[in-house]
Structures are given as C-alpha cells and as structure tokens.
C-alpha cells in the first residue's frame, strides 16, 4: 500500500492495537461493541443518552437479549462508555450506529446521522477511519458525511478514510450473531476500502467488498425491500384467500415444500422493526430525484401499511357476530414487540393496532413477557404495564388480539379462556367458532 497513513492504520487494526469507537449504543452498536471487545480491541462507546452510558459503565444491559454479564465482562476487559464527544480523538476507528427514521411525511429523517457527524467532525484527526452503518439512501455517505469529514482540512482517501458498511443485526435470531453475518463494505476510494476491510476483518468471519459506498447503501435497501415486497404480496394474498375461505398459512406451508424457486414469507398484522417498514421509502424518496416513481415498492408499502386496520376490522366483525360493538369493550393485545421473542418495539404494528382500537372507544390492555412496561416512544404513548395471563384475566376481556406470537405465551390457555380470539399470526390452525383469522 503506497499510502503510509493508511498502511499504518491497517497494521494497527490487524494487530488489534487500535481503539474502536462505537457511536450509538443501541441494537446495532451494542452487539458490535461486544464483538470487538471479545476479539481483543479496546472499545470506547459514545452515546448522547446519559442513562444508557451510566448503565453500561455499571455493567448493566438495557436490551433483553444482551446479558448484563456480557456487559460486565466487557467493562472488566477495557470497555468504557461516555457522552463526551471530545474523546473521538482517542479513537482510530469510528463506527456510526445511529437511527435513520422517517418523518411524518414518510421522508428520510437524516438528523441523527447529520447531528452525529457534526458532533464528531471537530474532533477528527489524521489516521482515522469513519464507517457509517445506519441504513440510508444511496449517496448519503458522499453527500452528508464526506463534506463534513473534510471541513477541517482532512482529505478522505489520503489522511482520513470513509466507508459505508450496512448493519445486518437480527435481534432474537439464535441462528446468527454479529461474527457470523457477512459484512458488506464500500469505500469512498480504493484506499478507504482497504482500510475498511482491515477494520471489519478481525471481528467478522466474512467481509464482502463492493465498488463504492453507494453500492453498499443500495445493497442494504435491496435486502430489506426484497422482504417488504414479498411480505406485501403474501399479505395481499391473505386477504384474497380469506375471502375465498382458504387458510393462507396452509397454502404457504404447502408451497414451501417446493425445493427450488420459492421462499416462504408469512403474513402478519403489518411490518415492524427499524428496517423493513422504513427502508423502502428511502429509495422511493431518492428515486424521485432521478425522475423515477417506484410504483412496485410503494404498492407493497400501501398493502403492508393497511394490515393493522385489517386486523381491527376482523376484530369488529368478530364482536358483531357475538352481538357486541367495539366501543365499550375490553380488548387485550398479546405481544407488542415487533416480532417474536424480543423486546424491540421499533415500528411495531401492535402499537398501531392498540391506537386504532382505543380510538374506536374500547378499553385497551396488553400482555408481553418481553415488555413489562410500555416504553417511552417518539410517537406513541400508553400508560400501561403488561397483564399477567391466567384463566381469570383472559376471560375478563371481550376479545383477545394475538399480534406478536412469542414462544412464552401459553396458547392452549389463551384459546381455552378467550371469549373471542383474533389470530393475526396463524398460530391456531384448527377452526373454532371463537377464533377469527386475521
């Protein structure tokens, strides 16, 4: 490598002598911190949330599937968390893991990425690498990070290095972990890419280089749009199959026996998580800059967005069949995390279902073994705690809506004692008069 600054940084990364800075200690940043710590790097975590920083420094965890013991071990072996962005200068690598939500107009909200870059830029120095992991539209790294990183006179590709490497965390998936999920990396220059590969190679089993940051950004969007579109398809087929008296879950299971050319996607009450409900709209927004209208992607978004109302419609129909109106009823929602067996509430369709039910005059409650208290959210609020499930409490509700199918639920108990059960997850395959498929 002809660039001596880059060569020196690569050597230090290969020897694990570099300090890794993780900016944003959430569902992406915290597992990444643990992985770099486990392979022998000194890791500095930076976050604007003082409560998170204090908990980590005390050896505690605030994410269910990350144990306090793993945080405590990391602390013992050198990990430290801080809210002080001046300490950016200590780090040889800075990995940005901050949120990229949508605003109320379903346009990209880049404030977290921009504000974080603005916070670190005054403390950047020669011989560092900056990697953005937040999911975003193609061009973000070049358009938003590049000019800010170079404001103080540093030159990307010469004395500081810039890459994009999309996160691929899947909370609650026991089959994969940070180490085993291949890592896509794109650099602003070829030298940036070389340094980026050196950054991730010690921590990740397989690192996949691509030609540019824009290609890496588009890769992440394709992955999640692929899921969003296919889930939209099966959700639409669910509505058609229901009208025809066909069980869509039986159909998907049967189709999945084909050993080629088919991937099973299952319908549900809507899309949740930080990626799949959001990422497609990053591309539709950016495509308009090029005079393009992504009709296929937007249509799937409309289908998926309509699912919470479809579930509530099924609830209304079920109550009507039993001679009741939704207004004045007591309704219990089972599962408010966005997917099974996690405590992650981001973009959970369960919350929208709760809001729709409450807006129609019903009294709402929830039960979720992973979310004992309804958390503070940017756009939603319920002053509720999780209901403990037993025969008496289940029977006290006019209807129960299964929104997230956690393994910890006793499904036989629920079915036995629910007056009306709305199943949006296909857990109950045998037809019963009090169970409505949604």
What positions carry a catalytic annotation? 275
Contact 403, 333 (CB under 8 A): yes
Nearest to 435 by CA among 426, 370, 88: 426
DSSP 212-235: -HHHHHHHHHHHHHHHHHHHHHHH
How do 160-164 and 183-187 pair as beta strands?
Answer: antiparallel
Helix runs in 68-110, H state only? 68-76
Q: Is residue 22 a contact partner of residue 116, using CB atoms and an 8 Å limit? A: no
Alpha carbon of residue 424 to chain centroid: 21
Token pair of 309 as six digits: 């109302």
Backbone angles phi, psi at 113, to 5 degrees: -65, -45
**Of residues 137, 116, 98, the one with CA closest to residue 221:** 137
Neighbour tally for 66: CB within 10 Å: 16
Residue reference for tokens 């420094």: 57
Q: From 92, 121, 131, select the one nearest 13 (Cα to Cα).
A: 92
Q: Rg of the chain over CA atoms, in angstroms?
A: 24
Smallest CA-to-CA distance from 187 within 159, 217, 152 is with 217
Order of all β-strands in the sheet with 80-82 = 80-82, 42-46, 19-23, 93-96, 128-132, 160-164, 183-187, 207-210
3-state secondary structure (DSSP) of residue 187: strand
326: three-class secondary structure by DSSP? coil
* Exposure string over 69-78, b if 16+ CB within 10 A, otherwise e: ebbbebbeee
């Amino acid at each position: 490598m002809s660039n001596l600054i880059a060569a020196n940084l690569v050597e230090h990364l290969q020897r694990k002598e570099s300090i890794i800075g993780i900016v944003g200690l959430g569902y992406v940043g915290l597992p990444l911190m643990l992985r770099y710590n486990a392979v022998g790097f000194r890791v500095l975590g930076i976050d604007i949330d003082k409560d998170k920083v204090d908990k980590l420094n005390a050896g505690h965890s605030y994410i269910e599937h990350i144990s306090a013991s793993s945080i405590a071990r990391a602390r013992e072996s050198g990990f430290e968390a801080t809210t002080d962005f001046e300490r950016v200068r200590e780090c040889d690598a800075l990995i940005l893991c901050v949120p990229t939500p949508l605003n109320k107009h379903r346009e990209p909200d880049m404030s977290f990425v921009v504000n974080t870059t603005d916070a670190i830029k005054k403390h950047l120095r020669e011989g560092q690498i900056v990697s953005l992991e937040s999911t975003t539209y193609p061009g973000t790294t070049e358009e938003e990070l590049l000019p800010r990183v170079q404001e103080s006179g540093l030159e990307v590709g010469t004395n500081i290095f810039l890459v994009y490497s999309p996160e691929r965390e899947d909370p609650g998936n026991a089959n994969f972990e940070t180490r085993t999920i291949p890592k896509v990396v794109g650099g602003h220059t070829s030298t940036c890419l070389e340094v980026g590969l050196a950054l991730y190679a010690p921590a990740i089993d397989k690192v996949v280089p691509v030609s540019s940051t824009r290609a890496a950004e588009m890769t992440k969007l394709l992955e999640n749009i692929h899921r969003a579109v296919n889930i939209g398809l099966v959700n639409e087929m669910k509505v058609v199959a229901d009208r025809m008296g066909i069980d869509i879950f039986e159909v998907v299971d049967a189709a999945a026996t084909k050993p080629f050319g088919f991937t099973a996607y299952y319908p549900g009450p809507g899309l949740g998580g930080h990626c799949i409900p959001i990422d497609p709209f990053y591309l539709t927004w950016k495509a308009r800059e090029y005079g393009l209208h992504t009709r296929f992607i937007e249509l799937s978004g409309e289908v998926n967005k309509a699912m919470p109302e479809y579930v509530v419609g099924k609830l209304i129909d079920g109550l009507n069949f039993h001679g009741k109106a939704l207004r004045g009823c007591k309704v219990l929602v089972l599962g408010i995390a966005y997917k099974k067996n996690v405590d992650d509430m981001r973009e959970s369709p369960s919350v929208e279902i709760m809001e729709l039910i409450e807006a129609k005059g019903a009294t709402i409650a929830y039960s979720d073994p992973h979310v004992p208290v309804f958390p503070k959210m940017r756009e939603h609020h319920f002053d509720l705690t999780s209901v403990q499930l037993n025969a008496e409490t289940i029977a006290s509700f006019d209807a129960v809506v299964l929104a997230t199918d956690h393994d910890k639920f006793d499904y036989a108990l629920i079915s036995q004692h629910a007056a009306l059960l709305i199943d949006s997850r296909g857990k109950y395959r045998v037809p019963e008069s009090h169970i409505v498929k949604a």
